[in-house]
């Protein structure tokens, strides 16, 4: 995250219609400027969280207004990169929502077992915790050798961290608990080596991972996949962008391919709702049927 201690309380409530209108124009100009100068398109992100993140950056960059942030971003690439990092909300954890991973083991792994070769795409993988969780699960199920895991994100700082496979040791207590709740049966510490305040996950887990920058708002499909994970990413998008991404996923999934969304996300009310059947409605696991 960017530096600065601003909190939700620092997001001003516009006092009049004029102020609210001014803020809307400033946000639109900021997003337009970023898009035209740097090619990153945040114009279809959901406004409430975008607004909060922008104000967070206003405070962290020591400027007074969104227009002030626009000026700094236009003239200072480092400022732009800090803003992208802040807007990307790179919050994640290993075996996040353990019940999802447990259900995946029970309902999807048996399907994958029948395939000669497995391609999985983690779109919006952040710093990689979800990707290492998948590698561990596939390894335990004897499927890792015939799998390729494609891990993408628009945020290159997060991807660089993901490639290293180094995580904070203080997170291991939670991750071990998640792992066990997800159906893991080994000692979780088998998978990493601790050094000072960090742990390094064993390189064999990285063997079949491919990391790449990919922006869901602007980039196209790049392969055909048996499984796509995209969790806690589209929650930050508006309906226009959500539909774009669902089209991308639909085109990228093989016949009977599996789509996994986050706990607060759903295929319902999207243009592709009828193209999938639920494999598990509670855990947001869907299978492409037409």
Ligand X SMILES: C[S@@+](CC[C@H](N)C(=O)[O-])C[C@H]1O[C@@H](n2cnc3c(N)ncnc32)[C@H](O)[C@@H]1O
**Sheet with 253-261, edge to edge strand ranges:** 209-213, 147-153, 118-123, 225-230, 253-261, 285-288, 276-280
Q: Between 37 and 255, whose beta carbon lies closer to ligand X?
A: 37
Q: What share of the chain is helix, strand, coil (3-state, %, to 5)?
A: 50, 20, 30
Q: Between 147 and 158, whose beta carbon lies closer to ligand X?
A: 158
Among 1, 29, 37, 91, binds ligand X (CB under 6 A): 91
Write the interaction track for ligand X spanning residues 156-195; mark x where CB under 6 A is met and - where it is not: --x-------------------------------------
For residues 270, 273, 275, 278, the Cα torsion angle rounded to the nearest 10 degrees is 130
Q: Does 90 bind ligand X (CB under 6 A)?
A: yes
Among 26, 61, 153, 283, binds ligand X (CB under 6 A): 153
Q: Does 231 bind ligand X (CB under 6 A)?
A: yes
Q: First and final CA of the chain: distance in angstroms? A: 41
Q: Does 126 bind ligand X (CB under 6 A)?
A: yes
Q: Between 215 and 243, whose beta carbon lies closer to ligand X?
A: 215
Q: Does 265 bind ligand X (CB under 6 A)?
A: no
Using CA atoms, how far residue 61 sits from 1, 51, 53, 176, 219, in Å, is 12, 15, 12, 37, 29
DSSP class of residue 128 equals S
Q: Does 96 bind ligand X (CB under 6 A)?
A: yes
Alpha-carbon distance of 188 to 240, in angstroms, equals 41
Alpha-carbon distance of 2 to 147, in angstroms, equals 36
Q: Which of residues 235-264 bind ligand X (CB under 6 A)?
A: 262
Among 86, 178, 232, 270, binds ligand X (CB under 6 A): 232
State the minimum distance, in angstroms, from the CB of residue 89 to ligand X: 5
Q: Does 154 bind ligand X (CB under 6 A)?
A: yes
- Please compute Rg for the chain using Cα positions: 20
User: Which residues bind to ligand X, rule: CB under 6 A?
Assistant: 88-92, 96, 124-126, 130, 153-155, 158, 215-217, 231-233, 262
């Amino acid at each position: 995250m960017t530096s600065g201690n601003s909190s939700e309380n620092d997001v001003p409530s516009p006092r009049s219609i004029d102020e609210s209108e001014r803020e809307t124009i400033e946000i639109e100009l900021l997003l337009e400027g970023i898009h035209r100068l740097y090619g990153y398109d945040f114009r279809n992100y959901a406004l409430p969280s975008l607004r909060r993140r922008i104000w967070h950056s206003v405070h962290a960059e020591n400027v007074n207004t969104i227009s002030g942030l626009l000026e700094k971003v236009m003239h200072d690439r480092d400022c732009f990169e800090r803003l992208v990092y802040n807007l990307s909300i790179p919050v994640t954890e290993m075996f996040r929502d353990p019940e999802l991973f447990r259900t995946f083991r029970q309902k999807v792994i048996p399907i994958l077992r029948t395939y000669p070769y497995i391609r999985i795409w983690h779109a919006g993988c952040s710093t990689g915790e979800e990707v290492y969780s998948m590698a561990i699960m596939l390894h335990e199920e004897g499927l890792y050798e015939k799998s390729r895991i494609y891990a993408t994100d628009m945020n290159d700082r997060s991807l660089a961290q993901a490639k290293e496979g180094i995580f904070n040791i203080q997170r291991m207590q939670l991750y071990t608990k998640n792992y066990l709740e997800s159906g893991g049966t080994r000692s979780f510490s088998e998978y990493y080596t601790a050094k000072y305040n960090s742990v390094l996950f064993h390189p064999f887990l990285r063997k079949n991972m491919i990391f790449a920058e990919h922006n869901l708002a602007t980039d196209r499909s790049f392969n055909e996949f048996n499984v796509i994970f995209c969790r806690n990413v589209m929650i930050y998008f508006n309906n226009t962008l959500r539909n774009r991404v669902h089209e991308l996923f639909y085109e990228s999934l093989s016949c009977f391919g599996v789509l996994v969304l986050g706990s607060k996300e759903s295929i319902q009310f999207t243009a592709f709702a009828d193209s999938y059947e639920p494999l598990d409605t509670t855990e947001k696991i869907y299978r492409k049927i037409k």
